[in-house]
Structure 1
Amino acid sequence: MRLLSTIRTTTLRTSVAGLALTLALAGCSVGTTAGAGSTTSTTQSAGTATTDSAASDTTATAESGDTNATTAVVADSTAIAEDTHYDDDDLTWDAADEVAVTLADGSTSAAGDGVTVDGDVVTITVAGTYRLSGSLTDGQVVVAAGEEDVVRLILDGVELTSSTGSPLVVTTADEALVYLEDGSTNTLTDADSYADDSTDAPDAALYSMADLTIAGDGSLTVNGTSNDGIVSKDGLVLADGDVTVDAVDDGITGKDYIALLGGTYDVTAGGDGIKSTNEDEDGRGWFTVYGGDLVVSSGDDGVKAATTLTVDAGTVTVTESVEGMEAPHIIINGGTSEVTSSDDGVNAAGGSAETTSGMGGMGGGMDAVGDYTVSVTGGSLTITSDGDGLDSNGDAGITGGTVVVNGPTGEGNGALDVNGELTVDGGTVAAAGSAGMAVAPGAASTQSGVQLTFASTVPAGTAIQIADADGTVVGSFVGTKDTASLIFSSASIAAGETYTVYTGGTTTESEGVTEGTLDGADELGTVTAGEYTQSQGPGRR
């Protein structure tokens, strides 16, 4: 450690004067490739998709001669069709074959075959395309088709409420497609309590025992007033739509997988926000974001997968949660992910992954290293957490993209917590938080960085800037929380070189990794890139 002999005491702009630095080198010997957590997959397996899976768009059209075409734009159809029940044909039909169902209290009617009406209960029994409109203040639509049947439900201005259970139930079918007609507004509201609360009974406002797809350019509001919002006991594809879910318990659940292709899904849930649940079958239990916009506010975990959680494109925003993102394997290949959590932000844990022998890795605690990974190959990941920021109970690797952690201020957690090996081989990493549990990249990392530990915390909103020997700023970071420790790694930092650290100055952005100048900044000291010190972490969580 080397400190400048003179430290300025004048405070200018956002600078913090008189802060001493305990600067440990960030070691980066060029050695082996990144650990298991940083392997880049180029094919989809159990939800691990190609990094460019959303690069091309396909437009599907409902056919009716040359008129009345409806369209929906989805992500790369080839990759998705290989791993889900969904393909282009799901959004292709002849409008002349539609069966019109008009919902009305005591006078529901159907203009075609395949539909029976019993009071305010509508039952669809055969494959086909059914256009629903109107409202039922206390009714139900049931799909009870053959096990090889594909049923399309076009919601074209539907308001459906049940006082006894779920208003829209798929009991049997091969696939069920809920298509939201362009410009339409639709609402599903379930009962406050269900008449049938047995184990296998429906427990969500939209409940399907078959593969379920939601598509179309209309809007859908789902009110889960008793339990869950949307549940598929098979696969779930969210292809499009403007969908709002408000649920007492879990917001959206898919058993075998969830694929978010497009649209906007805004979920508020008292339990988990959105999750896949099948941890027992190989190749199941994954959740991949190929595109679209997902916003989650949850009373428990925000975004969760039983096996693999992947973000390839689009945006994922968790505004409130206990654990922000959780799965045994978490892969960020692209897109923009922002996570806010009261406990761990991004947590590789859960599932049925087995542990291996050992006493933990670079500061991750005394527990054995598990078969868990976090991999960031691209995109932007921003974490604001009261618990650990980026946490893996196994390995973690960063090879691209930007990772920003506004971690805990308490000493019992750290911005980074990895039981196994943490490798940084590319991208930009700024992990800020408390100093007591600070974890740094391991020796196998091929990209260098610096580790800064401040004698006094740097207040939120204060720029921390790193300059090379020529006075050029090579790293600027503005935290949203008080910072006692900062790990900063980027391609601009070379192992063995000496850098000067400043607080204050000017920056182009008010938070996160940014660009800046040293005008009015306070000089704190120097650090040599290439050496890290590891703290003993809090262990597996």
Structure 2
Amino acid sequence: MLNKKMKSKMGIGLATVMAVALLVAGCGTTTGENETATVSTESATVVASSDASIDLSDVTAVITLSDNGSVVSGNGASVEDNDIVITSGGTYSFSGTLTEGRIKVEAEGQDVTIVLNGATITNSEKDAIYIEYANSATIYVMEGTENVLTSGTETTYEEAKAAIDEANASAETNVAAGESDSATTETSSADTASASESTDSTEAADEGFSNSQKATIMAKCSLTVAGSGSLTVNGYINNGIQSKEILTISDVNLTLVSANDGIKAGTELNITSGTFDIDSYGDAIQSDGTLNIADGYFDIFTGNGSASVEKKSEAAPGGGGMGGERNSSDMIAKMLERMGVDGASDLAAALEEAGALESAPRDMNSVVDWLNGLVEDGTISADYQTTIDAIESAMSSFQPGQMGAQNQANMQPTGDNGGFGGGMMDDAADSTDSDSNSVSQKGIKAEGVMTIDGGTFTIDTVDDAIHGTSDVVINSGTFNITSGDDGVHSDTNLTVNGGTITVEDSYEGIEAGVITINDGEVSVTSSDDGFNASTTLTDPDITINGGVVYVNASGDGLDSNKNLTINGGTVYVDGPSDDMNAAIDIGTENQGIFVINGGTVTAVGSSGMLENADSSSTQQTITYVFSEKLEEGTVITVSDSSGNEVASFTLIKSASAITYSSADLVSGETYTFTAGDQSGEITADSINTTNSTGGMGMGGHGGGMGGRGMMQGQMPTDGQAPTGGQMPSDGQAPSGEAPTNEQAPASGN
């Protein structure tokens, strides 16, 4: 029997979780040899509602754990070879310490509640809690108690991590050699050579690398973990907490270390509240089905953290262009073919085979000289001279025009040198998982739809911080992310309806097939693209309807492989300094367009890959190209014909072009753009006015969904244009003096 104090602490919390537990499906079928006499119990009366209640006046058994012999007071459980085996439905309270033992549930078709009331269980070879047969199971962590569950040892933990490191290193080598690029699986120290065996195998025997070793807490049925007590889970063998079916977690204060995945669900994962400190060497939170997070505090760390990832930006500055790691002979061939050059594929293959791509110039005007030099020094055969001459002819015959307005598929005008496009692959594969033998080390990951309604998240990951194979919807929450790959990623649709998302460091900040920002604040620092919409499943698209978006990108700032539409909100892009990328990049080769219908939009960066808004836009936009590149710290000022300042911006890195759109711009008005000793006038005589009249750029794809990399960047604290890559603290894009609210300033002051 539970005492009155214990009853009062358990009653409220168990009410809701038991209501959920009794409604879900059960575990596998037992064969009979594990059956025991049913113990009658009236320990719980449940109403399935938010006001559900439970009567705990009768508890099935109280178990005192001990290495000298655990004691069971009550019915439905027994001690078998140091394991506590539960064979009947009911509620079981555990306290004490048990070494080399575990709790095992064999209660087919019945509902079992395990109460951790100051329990420490260690098992060096298997799980600490194994729920093999039950209709549903609940683990309740008593308020005011500390509980520790450990499977494996620190030695097995280090072995598991070493195996993962070896598998991932091998996978990276294979990818570099072009041998593999398929979906990531999982691995374990139990059998590195057969990494895929660590995925679920429900019929495996309860020995070796099997169900019992998959997690410290392993349930073959739906599982609820609740209660406001403290629970430490050391998953030194493989996963931390796992259910083969629905996993629901609420209230618990969880500290978890795992050799592979931290929290893992089979069909559905629901987290309603709690505090989570997760250090996993695989994925931290993972569902093979849907994933829903309502609230909670999350501190997530995977692998050795984002800082351990080799920064691709160091090997290939700018993350794109001909010398970048993401380029290949196919990519270069596509670009040359768009210029109408015969023999493009053969030339591109020869350049790659000769290892010449790393020395490629970063502006188009130098390309012909570079190629001729490669012929002269014997790097490539003189047989390619005809193709090189065709490239020179294509460049000299190019007539500039407004790419965005006229929807030209291959080229656009700039006021500066053009450059080889940053990753023009129409059908680029998602390379976020590098090899079939690599181990996923993502923060929050789901195969089904992921919905986040709230919570506070600090995430530092080797791989994507948030990753969905299906749709990802963020309705609220505060996110501080550092990632070795993507900050937030969806293979399909990513929708942000609210919250504050700060990607402090990433390879690509926000990546999905279709990206929609309806509200909230999104700030991204990336070594490659800030936003990247790339997919072969549907038309890539970025749509910003509201909110505040800030991007500091070394690659493309906002990159859609088809359309980019801004209908509202405040958007500020600190784009790349090099001519291989652009602040705005769209998929013109896919007939994509860049449209501005509302909001306040500022995009600064290089002019080599410049995009202008399409003539179908409904809000006035001006794209201005300066005659000379502007240095970091330069202030760009926009003034009207009366000398009134409309807006001003301070560069955090060198740039040569700016695109500005605001409801304050007036068609027919003449504006002066001033930067240092450079100044020029431009009249808004069209909806997408630009002074760009010369040069050449190669637009198109800014790259498919890419791999990982890093850059350092700081997030500004005032309304000035960011001086360190920050989103202003008031949520307003920089435009002169700090605005006092979240509305776009009427005059830029």
Same fold (TM over 0.5): yes
Aligned equivalents of 1:451, 1:259: Cα separation in 2: 35
Structure holding more strand per residue: 1
Task: Return closer, same or farther for 1:274/1:156 CA change in 2, 3 Å cut-off.
Answer: farther
Pair 1:262-2:295 in alignment: yes
Alpha-carbon deviation of 1:417?
1.2
2:459 counterpart residue number: 296
Cα distance change on mapping 1:307 and 1:492 into 2, 3 Å: farther
Pick the aligned partner of 2:596 from 439, 445, 449.
445
Match for 1:395: what amino acid?
D
Question: 545, 560, 564: which one pairs with 1:399?
Answer: 545
Question: Take 2:133 and 2:637, find their aligned partners in 1: how far apart are those partners?
Answer: 60
Q: Match of 1:436?
A: 580
Which residue number in structure 1 is paired with residue 523 of structure 2? 382
Relative to structure 1, the CA distance from residue 90 to residue 402 in structure 2 (aligned partners, 3 Å threshold; closer, same or farther) is same
Equivalences, count: 416
Q: Which residue of 1 aligns with 2:468?
A: 305
What is the deviation of 1:478? 7.5
Amino acid at match of 2:123: S
Q: Which amino acid aligns with 1:214?
A: I
Structure 1 residue 331 and structure 2 residue 499: aligned?
no
Counterparts in 2 of 1:155-166, with a 5 A limit? Answer: 155-166=116-127
Higher relative contact order (CA 8 A, sep 6+): 1
Do 2:604 and 2:659's aligned partners in 1 also have CA atoms closer than 8 Å? yes
The one-letter amino acid paired with 2:547 is G
The CA distance in 1 between the partners of 2:657 and 2:150, in whole Å, is 48
- Give distance in 2, aligned partners of 1:430 and 1:300: 26
Deviation readout 1:136-158 (Å, 9 max, x if unpaired): 444434445446x5544444444
Q: CA offsets per residue over residues 292-332 of structure 1, 9 Å max, x none?
A: 12222111121111101111111222223312211121111
1:211 to 242, 246, 267: 246
CA distance in 2, matches of 1:483, 1:256: 45
* Distance in 2 (alpha carbons) for counterparts of 1:167 and 1:540: 44
Indicate conservation of the 8 Å contact 1:179/1:215, yes or no: no
**1:313-365 deviation line (CA, Å, top 9, x unaligned):** 112222233122111211111111122444211111xxxxxxxxxxxxxxxxx
Within 2, Cα distance between the matches of 1:187 and 1:485? 58
SS in 2 for 1:422: strand
Once the two structures are superposed, the pairs formed by residues 84-163 of structure 1 within 5 Å of their partners are 88=49, 92-96=53-57, 100-146=62-108, 150-163=111-124
Q: Is the 8 A contact 1:273 1:297 kept in 2?
A: no
**How do 1:314-393 residues align onto structure 2 when only pairs under 5 Å count?**
314-327=477-490, 328-348=492-512, 372-393=513-534
Normalising by structure 2, report the TM-score. Answer: 0.48
* Cα distance in 2 for residues equivalent to 1:488 and 1:159: 62
Indicate how the Cα distance of structure 1 residues 313 and 68 shifts in structure 2: closer, same or farther if over 3 A, else same: same
Q: Which residue of 1 aligns with 2:564?
A: 422
Query: Would the alpha carbon gap of residues 115 and 65 (structure 1) be closer, same or farther in structure 2, given more than 3 Å must change?
Result: closer
Query: 3-state SS of the aligned residue for 2:508?
Result: coil
* Equivalences for residues 273-292 of structure 1 within 5 A: 273-278=442-447, 285-292=448-455
| Contact 1:273–1:301 under 8 Å retained in 2 | yes
**Which amino acid is 2:469 matched to?**
A
Distance 2:86 2:688 in 1: 66
Shift of 1:453: 3.8
The correspondence of residues 442-481 of structure 1 with structure 2, limited to 5 A, is 442-447=593-598, 449-453=601-605, 455-456=628-629, 459=632, 471=644
Which AA in structure 2 matches 1:264?
Answer: Y
Deviation at 1:220, TM superposition (A): 1.3
Distance (Å, rounded) in 2 between the aligned partners of 1:173 and 1:314: 35
Q: 1:316 to 1:105 in 2, by over 3 A?
A: farther
**Does the 8 Å contact 2:15/2:53 carry over to 1?**
no
Mean CA deviation greater in 108-117 or 315-324: 108-117
Over the aligned positions, Cα root-mean-square deviation in angstroms equals: 4.1
Report the Cα distance in structure 2 between the residues aligned to 1:104 and 1:135, rounded to whole angstroms.
5
C-alpha deviations, 1:357-401, integer Å up to 9, x for none? xxxxxxxxxxxxxxx211111111111111211111111111111
Q: How many angstroms does 1:265 deviate by?
A: 1.8
Residue type matched to 1:303 in 2?
A: I
Contact 1:142-1:170 at 8 Å conserved across structures: yes
Contact 1:287-1:305 at 8 Å conserved across structures: yes
Cα distance between partner residues in 2 of 1:256 and 1:312: 19
Give 1:422 shift: 0.9
3-state SS, counterpart of residue 96 of structure 1: coil
Report what 1:43 is aligned to.
none
Corresponding residue SS for 1:345 = strand
Q: Distance between the aligned counterparts of 2:85 and 2:466, measured in 1?
A: 34
Secondary structure at 1:459's aligned position in 2?
coil
Letter in 2 for 1:433: G
Q: What SS class does the counterpart of residue 250 from structure 2 fall into?
A: strand
SS of 1:324's equivalent in the other structure is strand
Gaps of 5+ in 2: 24-47, 161-187, 192-196, 202-209, 215-237, 304-439, 535-539, 587-592, 607-627, 706-749
CA distances 1:488-518 after superposition (whole Å, capped 9, x unpaired): 6566666766666677xxxxxxxxxxxxxxx
Contact 1:190 1:204 in 2 (8 A): no
Q: Which amino acid aligns with 1:445?
A: I
Contact 1:132 1:156 in 2 (8 A): yes
Alpha-carbon distance, 1:253 to partner: 1.0
Determine which structure has the larger helix proportion and give its number: 2
The SS at the match of 2:57 is helix
- Counterpart of 1:220 in structure 2 is 254
Match of 1:537?
701
Counting aligned pairs with the same residue, the percent is 26
Q: Any conservation in 1 of the 2:443–2:463 contact (CA below 8 Å)?
A: no
* Structure 1, unpaired ranges of 5+: 1-62, 82-86, 279-284, 349-371, 504-520
1:177 & 1:483 partners in 2: Cα distance?
Answer: 58
